[in-house]
Each structure stands twice: as structure tokens, then as C-alpha cells.
Chains A and B, each alone.
Chain A
Amino acid sequence: MSNQLSREKLLEAYRLMRTIREFEERLHVEFATGEIPGFVHLYAGEEASAVGTMLHLNDRDYVATTHRGHGHCIAKGVDVHGMMAEIYGRQTGVCKGKGGSMHIADLSKGMLGANGIVGAGGPLVCGAALAAKLKKTGGVGVCFFGDGASNQGTIFESMNLASVWRLPAIFVAENNGYAEATSSTWSVASDNIADRASGFGMPGVIVDGFDFFAVHEALGEAIERARGGGGPTLVEVKLSRYFGHFEGDAQTYRAPGEVQKLRDEKDCLKRFAERVVRAEMLSSDDLVKIDADVKTLIDDSVVKAKAAPLPTEADLLTDVYVSYP
């Protein structure tokens, strides 16, 4: 397949990655004020994975993500104002303020939801992919999961089912090196998560998650293969997060200077910017303008979220049960 990216696609890629970064960096600051309820798990540093994947998708494609799901939601097109309000627990949130950070969902965008249960996305995506196959929509299902979830039975069962039924499903293992505080070198028995693919009769590849272009190319192949009836693929994206497992995590399990080194040497946004400017496909002015636009967007989303009303007692039982006719 052709992997040549147009100027418009590159602009979109940068805007989405910058939006995720700004969103997460701002939440890091805002969470410390104590105004945000619950937990947040930030995706900063991993933007290339979500955006490199999602640029190949549209609203007929379904995505299930993890507790670290803000980036996937933004890249899939979920409204940023609605997400910020949801994280603040406000009525204007995409789930009316009752889901919070770990349950952001928007079915109109094909976002099946962030999920507080580790490894729960696999079965959901198998269902979505089966529906797409039976209805012949041409859609695919993408399951994001981490190195911790890679050891869960739900993920194994889902990969097996997807392969047996030849589902248009893509399993994206975002291996950021830590399941909470446990290094994947201790907890993942196989040498690479991707190596497990052969046991399920599907291809497995490893891709550099700090490189948008590498992710975009590999996921493009996997998604095209799924759409064409070729069945599921496991893609292991090797990357790292800039913040703790959750906000407030002291990260004593990381080496001193580890994150700063990542920011200095492996920042996917910096790498992207350097390369597109050097290739003269985008200009520095293009990127600066996007940076400014995104900052305004995130500022506005925080202001509006804080000003929005909280759910009322009357909202407690709404949207909880489905009444079938």
C-alpha cells in the first residue's frame, strides 16, 4: 500500500499529537489542584501510537482503549471540550460527567470507551469486529492494551477468537515498559509481546512507538489487511510514558533522569516536527500556529469544564439501564 502522507494529513497528525500532549500536560497541572475527582492516567509521550493508528480509521471503525485512554479518544475524534468536562465530572461531559477519565466513550465516533478493567477491551473489539464482518460495513476493530494486559486471559481469548473467526481486528500492544510499577522485563514471559502472535496464527510485528511514521506505516498495513479479509494482526508498539502510572505516582521504580532523557531524545512530537520541516512538507510557521491554536483550545476546555454544572441527584439513575421495547 502507499504510505505517502499528504500535507493535510501531516497537519492533522501534528494537530492531534499536539492536542493530546497539551491536554495531558494541562491535566497534570490541574489534577494537582484537587479539583478533578477520581484518578487520571496520562498518555503524554505515547501520542505517535494513537495518532499513527487512528489516521487510518473513520467513524465506522471501533476502538476499545485502556485506563490510559485520553490520547486514543482525542485521536479518534471525541470532542475535547466534552472530554475535559467529563474528567471534571460535569454535566457537559461526553458521558454527562458520570464516567470520568477511565470511562470516556463516544459511540458516534466509534470509541467503545476507556476501561478501568485491565484487558477488557479485547472481547469488546471482537464483538465490534464480528458485527462489522457480518454487516459487511468494511469496518475494523482496534484494541489497545498495555504490557500488563498482555498477560491477561481476556486478551489471549480475544486473539484466539479473532483468529479462529478471521475477524477484522487489530491488537495494538502499547508496551511502555511498566505494568503500574512492574517492569515488563519481569512480568512478560515471552521475549516480545509480538512473538505471541504466532501462537494465535496471526502476524506479529514490533514497531518504534516514538516514531509516528513507523507506527503509521505498520498500522496502515495491518488495518488494510483486516479490511481486505486478511484477519487479525498483533502490533507491539514499544514506547514510554512521561508521567507515572497515575497522577501522584512517585515513580520510585524508574531510574533517575529516565523521563528527562526520553523527553530530550525520544519525543515523538519533536522528531515529527524536525522531519516534516526538513522534508519541506510543513513549515515551522505551520507548527507554531497549531501549537497556539491547541493551547487556546485546551485553555478554553478547562475554563468551560470548571464553569459547567455537576450532575444532579436526578441524573443518578439516567443512562444507567437500557429499556428495551
Chain B
Amino acid sequence: MPVTRIGLACDPQAALDKHNGDNPVASPITVGVIANPASGRDIRRLTTHASVFPTAEKANMVVRLIAGLGALGVDRVLTLRDRTGVAALLLRAIDTHKATGTAERWPEVEFVDLPITDSVADTHTGTAHMVREGVELIAVLGGDGTHRAVAAHCGGVPLLTLSTGTNNAFPDMREATVAGMAGALVASGVVPPDVALTRNKRLVVRCVAGPNRGREEIALVDVCVSRQRFVGARAVSEPSDIESLFLTFAAPDGIGLSSIGGAWAPVERTAPHGLHLTFALHDEDGFAKRDGGPDEIPDGVPIFAPIAPGRIDQVTMRTCERFEPGDWLPIDARRGTLAFDGEREIEIGRDDRYEISLDWSGPLTVDVSRTLRFSASRQLMREMAGASMRALMQAKTHAK
């Protein structure tokens, strides 16, 4: 748990001392940064109106993030190398920052020396490495899929979430500078974990019979049983493909599959339960199939939902029930695919049996708004600015 890892977490004054350099024995405050170079480029650029998220903007976001982290006391950032340019652009920005002698305090940035596979394995191994290195938190730039990949390996290290993907329900869409400031306040222990951090729900799917027996996957927002037989291009973009849906939360102003639940029965992230929805099969025109002919009343409720950027589609919901934590529910599917946070990942074989459960063991995330409100209520920015000014004056006096 981060409470024990952040040594001065519950004492803002002591943490401020550490931040201001009054505690010489303190180890450098280290934050991990994972920016998924592949996010924002999948087939949804074609099937929906999702935009490409350029590498240059991801790198810019990392720069703005570390500016926020550095200004409020983070000493060291660990980040990953990649072959698509995010790391290269970041390196260039760091060189420029050093060359221009800007007064802004940036942390030392270390690129973790791990093999690059250009796959999700890079995120998994990178996260595990950062946890071993003892980072105080991991800032994640990506979509729901990237956050899911980090959450699977981050243990008790909290995440600072930033959206750069496509259908993002889990990460925050906000300015990276501000996120960096909040991240620094949390990493340095100036804002205590019980104020700054939120525990998230997660869905756990486990295979209990068949060749994949023992396999376990998690999702942070949704698990979809898709009628598509193969993983293919991964994204779930067609409403007619959706057989059933399990949700950890369902925001009415969300985008993606969880918006279906949000349109019918919104569930807060903090609510004690999730949702389980099932859907009718659609015909080629997008209407619920009616075996008894066109006069038959369709079996379900038609709902409009923004299942992807620029795509408001109709689904026909048959059932919608609360999904309570702790229960293991068999997934009633003999074929099709299982999608996690919007991406098909498992092809279901005839002998496969899967179960699903909801629990509160999802990652801790930084609540940026609450963190900065706490900071304002304690005038922490004034304290830090004053300390910084005093340090500068002392340095000038010493120089004379």
C-alpha cells in the first residue's frame, strides 16, 4: 500500500520539509512515466471518427507533466524507451531545457534499459521494473487499454492517469502540467494518500475449464462478450457484436461501451456495485431481430449510446442488473470473443468456461481535483513558493 511506501505521507509539514530539502536523509522522490507510443492508432480511426494521437503531442504531454512534477519537488523520473519517437522527442526537449539554462526545475529523467518488443509486453515489464525501483507513483499516458496493462502490474503503486487513447472512460482528460503538479504533491507526501488517492473497482475474468484454464485477465471499465469469432482488429465497434457487457462503472457522460450502461442506469466509480447488461441480436439494418415477423415487439429496450467517437449507435438491451462484488458469475458464451476495456483479446473455444467477478482491488489513482483543492485549502503553493524564494536568496547570499 502506498501509505507505507510514502514515508512522510500523513504529515504534510514533514513532507514539506522533505520537499524543501530540510531532511537530508530523504531519498530522491521518484516517479515513473509510461507513455504508450502505440495508443490512438487502431482501426477506430477507420470505423469511427476517432483522431490519431500524434507522437509529438504525447512527447509534449510528457514534457508538460515532468515540468509539473519537477516544479513541486520530484527529483527523478523513470520512463521507457521506444522506437516510435516519444523518448527521442523527450530527450531533445531535455537537452534544450539544459542548453537554455531555464530556471524551471525539471527532475532528472532516466530511460529504463529494457528490451523493446513494440508490444504490450513493454508496458508490463516497464511497470514491473518501476515498481521494483520504488517509484512513488506511475503517470500513465494512454487509453483504457494502456491503463489496464499498467494496472495489471503496478501492485499498490498509485497511478496518475492521462488520456491519449480513443474511447477513454478510465483516464482523466486534463492538462498534463496540472496533473504533474498534483502527482508531485502526492509523490512527495505533501498531500496525504487518504485525501489524494481513490481505490478503483476492477473486473476479473478467469478461465476455469478448457485449454486456457488458469488464465486470468482484468478490466478497469468493461468486459464485453462479443459475437465476433476472432480477435481480428481488436476494437469492438459494432453494436450488433455486443452480446453482453459487465461494467465497473457507467458514467452518463462517458464514451465507449460503458456509455450504454450510463445511458440507462448510471453507476458511479465509487458505487459499491457494477452492472451486467445483455443485448438482443440485431438484423442487418440494426434492429433487434424478431423471429415472429415485423409485427412482433422486439425483445428489449432500444437505447442510443456514444459507443465510439462520432458514433451514436442503437443497441437493444434485454437485461440490466446490478453486478455485486465478490460473486463469481459464469460467462454464458460458447463462442465469440472476450473484450477487455474495448479490445477483443480472448477467442472462446467450445470447451472453455470463464467466470467473472467484480472486486475493489483495482489500482489506486490520484484524484487531481481533490489533491489540488487540499493544497489550496492548506495554502501549500504559498508555502512552497516562499520556501523556494528563501532558498534562492540564501544561494545568492552565499555566492556573495
Which residues of A approach B to under 8 Å, CB–CB? 1-5, 185, 191-192, 194-195, 197-198, 203-207, 211, 213-214, 216-218, 221-222, 225, 233, 275, 278-281
Query: Taking the nearest CB of chain B, how far is it from the CB of A185, in angstroms?
Result: 6
The range of chain B's interface size is 20 to 34
Residues of chain B lying within 8 A (CB to CB) of residue A281: 229
Alpha-carbon distance A2/B285, docked complex (angstroms): 11
In the complex, given contacts A2-B238, A213-B230, what are 11 additional A-B residue pairs having Cβ atoms less than 8 angstroms apart? A4-B228, A198-B54, A203-B45, A204-B52, A205-B42, A206-B42, A211-B232, A213-B232, A221-B46, A222-B46, A233-B46
Interface positions of B from 202 to 254, Cβ below 8 Å from A: 211, 227-234, 238, 240
Q: Which of B55, B227, B233 contacts A214 (CB 8 A)?
A: B233
Most buried by A among B43, B85, B233, B238: B233
Pairwise interchain contact A185-B232, C-beta atoms closer than 8 A? no
Residues of chain A lying within 8 A (CB to CB) of residue B232: 3, 211, 213-214, 216-217
Residues of chain B lying within 8 A (CB to CB) of residue A221: 43, 46-47, 233
Residues of chain B lying within 8 A (CB to CB) of residue A204: 41, 45, 52
Q: Which of B37, B45, B335 contacts A191 (CB 8 A)?
A: B37
Pairs A–B under 8 Å by Cβ, sample size 21 = A1-B238, A2-B284, A4-B229, A192-B41, A198-B52, A204-B41, A205-B42, A206-B38, A213-B230, A213-B232, A214-B231, A217-B232, A218-B233, A221-B47, A221-B233, A222-B46, A233-B46, A275-B230, A275-B347, A279-B349, A281-B229
Pairwise interchain contact A278-B347, C-beta atoms closer than 8 A? yes
Query: Do A279 and B347 contact each other (CB < 8 Å), given the known contacts A185-B83, A204-B52, A214-B234?
Result: yes
Alpha-carbon distance A197/B52, docked complex (angstroms): 10
Pairwise interchain contact A278-B349, C-beta atoms closer than 8 A? yes
Query: Taking the nearest CB of chain B, how far is it from the CB of A222, in angstroms?
Result: 6
Residues of chain B lying within 8 A (CB to CB) of residue A218: 43, 46, 233
Residues of chain A lying within 8 A (CB to CB) of residue B230: 5, 213, 275, 279
Residues of chain B lying within 8 A (CB to CB) of residue A233: 46
Most buried by A among B38, B43, B84: B43
Query: Taking the nearest CB of chain B, how far is it from the CB of A48, in angstroms?
Result: 11
- Tell yes or no: B400 within 8 A of A by CB: no
Residues of chain B lying within 8 A (CB to CB) of residue A185: 83
Pairwise interchain contact B349-A205, C-beta atoms closer than 8 A? no
- Look across to chain A and name the residue whose beta carbon is closest to the beta carbon of B210: A278
Query: Taking the nearest CB of chain B, how far is it from the CB of A40, in angstroms?
Result: 30
Alpha-carbon distance A203/B44, docked complex (angstroms): 10
A interface footprint on B48-84 (CB within 8 Å = 1, 0 otherwise):
0000101100000000000000000000000000011
Residues of chain A lying within 8 A (CB to CB) of residue B55: 191, 195
- Tell yes or no: B132 within 8 A of A by CB: no
Pairwise interchain contact A217-B349, C-beta atoms closer than 8 A? no
Alpha-carbon distance A280/B350, docked complex (angstroms): 8
Alpha-carbon distance A280/B227, docked complex (angstroms): 15
Residues of chain A lying within 8 A (CB to CB) of residue B84: 191-192
Pairwise interchain contact A217-B347, C-beta atoms closer than 8 A? no
Query: Do A206 and B83 contact each other (CB < 8 Å), given the known contacts A214-B231, A218-B46?
Result: no
Residues of chain A lying within 8 A (CB to CB) of residue B227: 4
Residues of chain B lying within 8 A (CB to CB) of residue A222: 46
Pairwise interchain contact A195-B43, C-beta atoms closer than 8 A? no
Q: Which of A5, A205, A280 contacts B41 (CB 8 A)?
A: A205
Alpha-carbon distance A186/B351, docked complex (angstroms): 47
Residues of chain A lying within 8 A (CB to CB) of residue B41: 192, 194-195, 204-206
Pairwise interchain contact A279-B335, C-beta atoms closer than 8 A? yes
- Look across to chain A and name the residue whose beta carbon is closest to the beta carbon of B54: A195
Alpha-carbon distance A206/B52, docked complex (angstroms): 11
Pairwise interchain contact B240-A195, C-beta atoms closer than 8 A? no
Interface positions of B from 285 to 325, Cβ below 8 Å from A: none
Query: Taking the nearest CB of chain A, how far is it from the CB of B117, in angstroms?
Result: 11
Residues of chain B lying within 8 A (CB to CB) of residue A3: 228, 232
Query: Taking the nearest CB of chain A, how far is it from the CB of B216, in angstroms?
Result: 20
Query: Taking the nearest CB of chain A, how far is it from the CB of B143, in angstroms?
Result: 15
Residues of chain B lying within 8 A (CB to CB) of residue A192: 41, 84
Most buried by A among B37, B43, B46, B228: B46
